[in-house]
Amino acid sequence: MTQPGKPKVFRSHGKRLELPAYIPSFSETHIADRRVSANWNGAVAALKLFSPKALMLSAFDFLYGPRASLEAKEALAEHKTISERLDLPQAALLFLDSGGLESISHPDLEFTPEMSYAIQRKLGADVITLMDFPRSRTGDTRAPVIDEFDVATGFAALHDGSAGLAAVIHGRSSDELVRQTTRLASLSVVKVLCVPTKSLGGNLEKKSETVRALKAVSLDKVLHILAEGSPKAWGDLVAAGADSFDATTWCRALISPETFRQIAHWIPPRTTCNCVQCRGELMEVACRSRTDMLVHNLSLFSSKMDDIRENVGR
């Protein structure tokens, strides 16, 4: 069932994205998964081969990631967007995230809301994410407290509206999330509201309940769930009103060939796979390199979302 007011297509910066959508993401400097993040080249190579409809990269990486920052410097010198520089599909919606999460693990490096906004804009983001500070992750009471609404109103005044603005909402309770979402939904320049899956609540039922409450106060916005890496949860969250998801779990194969099977859990072992990589072969046979596995994983994630989108449309 399509909900009233639920957007089916998201348009930004002249690009369009069908909803609900899966947006592959990865970060070179992510705190939680340094071994994954180390392999920038492998991840970019897989994205080129797979050709996603959207992708999410981190603003912090482009300032401080060993490899990403070099690419960003080259892009700026060549007056290219980062998608052009990396030769990624030009039609893909480029969603940059604020880098707030990555900045936590590098407190020695200067990273401000202004720096985050500026680098995303310069690199041609189709969706610019306003800086957030996930304080619930750190528990650090000395850390700066960033009010997402203050950041959004500050940048809304400067923003020319060509790219969509996304605001990230953290909250220590569902009441706080709903309150902050209501405030941010009042800003017309903010097109996307992002909520980390961890902020939604403990189990899937609680998460769905929170999503329903958030959607009810932000019907004309895209509700993006950050870091929900389990496609098994996507169907329920879409039914509750969520519009898009990112996940880094597709690049588990960068750690080792063994870990790649951990995420292919909805395909029983030793069965054939019909993804664009395997083409009906056993995945063990069809995936000879880690790049192959990454493409296979991306395909699985995407086809899961294609199924969900088809069911929503009925």
Residue nearer to Zn ion on the CB measure, 92 or 275: 275
- DSSP 3-state assignment of 275? coil
Count how many residues are written for the chain.
314
Query: In angstroms, rounded to a whole number, what is the distance separating the alpha carbons of residues 167 and 183?
Result: 11
Residue nearer to Zn ion on the CB measure, 79 or 270: 270
Query: In angstroms, rounded to a whole number, what is the distance separating the alpha carbons of residues 124 and 86?
Result: 12
Query: In angstroms, rounded to a whole number, what is the distance separating the alpha carbons of residues 170 and 271?
Result: 41
Residue nearer to Zn ion on the CB measure, 84 or 281: 281
Chain residues in the site for Zn ion (CB under 5 A): 273, 275, 277-278, 283, 296
Cβ at position 249, least distance to Zn ion in Å: 15
Cβ at position 184, least distance to Zn ion in Å: 39
Which spans in 38-169 are helix H? 40-50, 59-64, 68-77, 82-86, 100-104, 113-122, 135-138, 148-158
Residue nearer to Zn ion on the CB measure, 237 or 295: 295
Cβ at position 275, least distance to Zn ion in Å: 3
Residue nearer to Zn ion on the CB measure, 62 or 301: 301
Copy the structure tokens of residue 281.
């072969």
Cβ at position 305, least distance to Zn ion in Å: 15
Cβ at position 91, least distance to Zn ion in Å: 24
Residue nearer to Zn ion on the CB measure, 43 or 214: 43
Residue nearer to Zn ion on the CB measure, 188 or 272: 272
Query: In angstroms, rounded to a whole number, what is the distance separating the alpha carbons of residues 17 and 302?
Result: 13
Query: In angstroms, rounded to a whole number, what is the distance separating the alpha carbons of residues 38 and 28?
Result: 6
Within 10 Å of residue 229's Cβ, how many Cβ atoms? 16
Query: In angstroms, rounded to a whole number, what is the distance separating the alpha carbons of residues 266 and 299?
Result: 13
Cβ at position 267, least distance to Zn ion in Å: 8
Cβ at position 42, least distance to Zn ion in Å: 17
- 154 and 179 Cβ atoms separated by less than 8 Å: no
For residue 246, what are the β-bridge partners?
23
Cis-peptide, bond into residue 20, ω within 30° of zero: yes
